[in-house]
Amino acid sequence: MLFRFDPVVASDAALLGRFLSHSDWPYHVEQSVDENWVRGRLESGHFFGRDSRSFWVRADDEEEPVGLVRAFDLEDLTPLIDLRIASAARGRGIGTTALRGLTTWVFSEYPETGRLGGYTRHDNVAMRRVFEKCGFLQEAQHRRAWRVAGGAPVDAVGYAILREEAEAM
């Protein structure tokens, strides 16, 4: 299946609210979000702006997104990624396609960027596999560094890929 990546724009506020509030995000700090959360993030430049860009992941023949990818800290030495796949679309390889697409985009649009990173919870086995399939290497394990709503912090793992590693794939 082919996918396309469409930039998130200001007029997508309602779609962002719908997409993010209709799925659960068990491995994110905010495991469920509402439209107020989305509105606050829009106002702060979380989804797009000088230092952040987001893209909808859509099946080539569909309008409803199956995922949302975001690159942020784009002016830092190591920009970071955030990847969200809708609950109904998980387990079909979309995360791998989305991360590869975002990695290619970051390295092509930011020629001075030499590495791209991301973090997930240690128990998010699916995302860890996505990182590995896309050539990212685990570089860190931060003990009890990931906040969990209503629970004790869990370990966070950090992955990164260098430009030359991505280009060699």
Q: What is the pLDDT of residues 85-125, one digit of tens each?
A: 999 999 999 999 999 999 999 999 999 999 999 999 999 99
Q: Which residue has the tokens 């992941």?
A: 57
Q: For the residues 37-47, what does the mean pLDDT come to?
A: 83
Is the per-residue pLDDT at 30 higher than 80?
no
pLDDT, tens digit (0-9, with 9 covering 90-100), for 67-96: 999 999 999 999 999 999 999 999 999 999
Q: Which of 18, 34, 105, 93 has the alpha carbon at shortest distance from 69?
A: 105
Q: What are phi and psi of 139, to 5 degrees?
A: -115, -15
Question: What is the pLDDT at residue 115?
Answer: 98
- CATH number of the domain at 3-168, please? 3.40.630.30
Query: What is the share, in percent, of the chain residues with pLDDT greater than 90?
Result: 67
What does pTM read for this prediction?
A: 0.91
Distance CA 160, CA 117 (A): 4
